[in-house]
Amino acid sequence: MYPAFQRHATHFFFRKIFLSYSRNRLVLFIAATFVLLHASFVAAESEFGLRPEIRNFVTYMANRHGYDSKELESVFTQTNFRADIIKLISTPASAISWDEYRKRFVNTQRIKGGIGFWGKYASELERARKIYGVPEEIIVAIIGIETSYGTATGNYRIMDALTTLAFDYPRRADYFREELENYLLLAKEQKFGLLDIKGSYAGAIGIPQFMPGSYRRYAVDFNNDGKIDLSGSAADAIGSVGRYLKEYGWEADKPIAVRAQARSENLQEFLDTGIEPIHAIGKLREAGIIPLEPVANDMPSALLELNSQGARQFWLGFRNFYVITRYNRSTFYAMSVFDLAKAIRIARLSRAAGQ
């Protein structure tokens, strides 16, 4: 029995040594992994410094717009490259159905939030409608979809986002370099710190998520306080959304979209022309595409298709639908704005009738 016991004791002794060694290796592995992850994190937010292309951009801003080179160089040395932004903007959008997309934005929470936002800023919304011709519910719905009524405006420093995309995203570098230029000019005009403003990973700013170029072109001081503040003033956001849509051709008191019955053999021909309204209703009627609400035959429209619960839905989008797509060039987006706007108006009227 003794030799067997001895063998067991010896086995137990070496097993303890092995486990102790394994644990130590595990601790070392975890520590090394932590160090690598920390290094990756630091690399993901490393300072740009003054790379040659950034020096060239600083020189351009100084020569063309009179920017102080030293001041701008100092800002760029404090600007961080964000690898996560490149990943976010480069990741292909996953396929999503219209029903799934709609549920994200046309839901009880957004409708309730829209009623509250409308109630709080009723006078500003009414004034925007009178000046720009855009119904209150459309402005409310856009702000609701963009930032959930100003509660989710983004946590990325705009300077980091635009610099990352301007110099490390070749596919759209020209566009984002132009937006970076606009951002620098906007900061001068509005007198805010370049490193202070936060927004989306693509560089969109404030309650209505305007890119810097749109901010400079369309934003308005709607509360007349002497400054335009899309991040802190809901009134300025409301007026700016109204002006943006008006500048892109919003037609007051005109329809946005109507359901259609489509029996044409040439459906694809009309669908392939896209979302710009170029087909007169009379021409579509002749082709067997019939609006389900009264519409004048000379009204230009586009044939739209949505798939809901496995069935094909056909819509006719008019000029105002197309204008909404100038805010976000997606049929799903524009239809969500349209649906959320209707839902908010109906719920608001229903609540008022019940009081």
Closest CA to 142 of 221, 218, 223: 218
CA 131 – CA 98 distance, rounded (Å): 33
Cα angle 27, 31, 35 (rounded to 5 degrees) comes to 170
Domain boundaries, the chain: 12-44, 45-78
Cβ-contact 181, 61 below 8 angstroms: yes
- 254: helix, strand or coil: coil
The owner of tokens 């759209």 is 172
Structure tokens at 42: 């630091």
The count of other CB atoms within 10 Å of the CB of residue 25 is 10
Supply the residues annotated as catalytic: 146
Cβ-contact 303, 267 below 8 angstroms: yes
pLDDT for 355: 65
pLDDT for 264: 74
Closest CA to 325 of 313, 316, 337, 315: 337
Strand duo 156-157 + 198-199: pairing: antiparallel
Contacts of 270 (CB under 8 A, 6+ apart): 264, 279, 284, 287, 289, 303
Cβ-contact 178, 213 below 8 angstroms: yes
The owner of tokens 């044939």 is 303
CA 229 – CA 132 distance, rounded (Å): 19
pLDDT for 45: 54
pLDDT for 50: 84
Find the Cα–Cα–Cα–Cα dihedral 117, 122, 123, 129, rounded to 10°.
100
HEC per residue, 91-142: CCCCCCCHHHHHHHHCCHHHHHHHHHHHHHCHHHHHHHHHHHCCCHHHHHHH
124-160 per-position pLDDT tens digit = 999 999 999 999 999 999 999 999 999 999 999 999 9
Closest CA to 327 of 225, 249, 257, 269: 249
Q: In the chain, which residues have pLDDT < 70? A: 1-49, 355
Structure tokens at 192: 């805010």
58-112 per-position pLDDT tens digit = 999 999 999 999 999 999 999 999 999 999 999 877 789 999 999 999 999 999 9
pLDDT for 266: 82
